[in-house]
Amino acid sequence: MQIRKSRKHAAQAYSGGAMQAIFQRRPRFLSNPSPYRDAAFEYEAPPMRLVFDQTDAAMDAYSKALSDVVDLVGPSVVRIHPAGHGRQGVGSGVIVSAEGLILTNSHVARVAPVLEIVTADGRKLTARAIGDDPYTDLAVLKVDQTVTLPAARLGDSKKLKRGQLVIAIGNPLGFEATVTAGVVSALGRSLRGDTGRLIEDLIQTDAALNPGNSGGPLVSTTGEVVGINTAVIAGAQGICFAVSSNTAKFVMTEILRHGRVRRGSIAVIAQQSAIPRRFALEAGLSEQEWGAMIATIDANGPAGRAGLREGDIIIEADGRVVSGVDDLLRLLDHDSIDRQIAFKVLREGRIFEAKVTPKERREK
């Protein structure tokens, strides 16, 4: 078969780079076709300018959306490092009030008692942590100077959807005001933090994060902060996490009101434990395989006074199944303090109920 096609059209189609520019095949017999000869075709490329215009317009809109967000939120992003130590220990933060309140990570705030803040316009200020919560890896800083600063707005992270475009702004590896973009890869992730406790309600994104991005904002295309960048999976590409803005709002409110994030305690040390098959059958727990076994208990604490003892397996609390320590910790939030809660406990094949009133947990 003899094939002929216009080189000019082919070059235009290939070099245009638009996936929509696909050749249309228009068969046309050459002159004097013979049944003893192969039919030959010509390929003619469709007009390309319209395709290019549409692609360029879409790319321009995408770029403008990103740059508009950066222009809006960028001035609120700060660099953080220990005062008097140059650029050592660089992290990021985001200003959330004009009076100088800054949200960042707990592991950034804990590097020194006094921190130097460098704003996007180059101003150097000092700040101190007015409260931090290692269990969510969040902290609130307050600038020492009397200033008026550009503040970003915290959005509602519950409105996020997978696949939604997000932008990370920060100072990775000391490179100031770096912008990366990606999508929301997943919602509601959990990740075990430095304390050993699960950090809940994390946003997973493929927006590139590196050391120094910690504490910087994850921003939606509406210009709202929807997360505080916190962690990456070492050795993986495109698996990064941010604490949701709704968690950040709660932590900030608790810190501003009480100077700390309040949580309940029943004065026990527990561990996840399999429910022995024989005990499960005797107690009618055929569908529950795990619980939280009490390893150590303070006899004068809330659980001890309610009659719980070492070796008991907590299987339910406040009407919710407890299949491990994480479930128990999740239950003991600020709402549990001084509120009587019904605990169901498995002891030697028998279930009994105890009324426990958690007290506020005091950090050592």
- The residues, ordered by sequence, that sit 6+ positions from 60 with a Cβ below 8 Å of its Cβ are none
Q: What's the rounded Cα separation, in Å, for the pair 47 and 243? A: 48
Q: What's the rounded Cα separation, in Å, for the pair 324 and 29? A: 75
Q: Return the residue matching tokens 């932590």.
A: 251
Angle (CA) 239-241-246 rounded to 5° is 150
Q: What's the rounded Cα separation, in Å, for the pair 166 and 143? A: 28
Note whether 267 and 336 are within 8 A (CB). no
Note whether 246 and 201 are within 8 A (CB). yes
Is 132 a residue of the active site? Answer: no
Is 137 a residue of the active site? Answer: yes
Residue type (1 letter), 69:
V
Catalytic residue among 76, 107, 185, 336: 107
Closest by alpha carbon to 329, among 354, 297, 361? 361
Is 265 a residue of the active site? Answer: no
Q: What's the rounded Cα separation, in Å, for the pair 182 and 171? A: 17
CA 113 to chain centre: 26
- The residues, ordered by sequence, that sit 6+ positions from 67 with a Cβ below 8 Å of its Cβ are none
Helix ranges, 191-314 (H): 245-258, 277-283, 302-305
| C-alpha dihedral (43, 44, 48, 50), degrees to nearest 10 | -120
Find the helix or strand (DSSP H, E) in which 117 lies.
Answer: strand 115-118
Q: Return the residue matching tokens 């990570």.
A: 105
- The residues, ordered by sequence, that sit 6+ positions from 122 with a Cβ below 8 Å of its Cβ are none
Catalytic residue among 92, 214, 323, 336: 214
Catalytic residue among 137, 201, 312, 327: 137
Length, in residues, of the chain: 364
Give the E-state strand segments of 193-279 in sequence order. Answer: 198-205, 217-220, 224-232, 240-244, 264-265, 268-274
Residues identified as active-site: 107, 137, 214
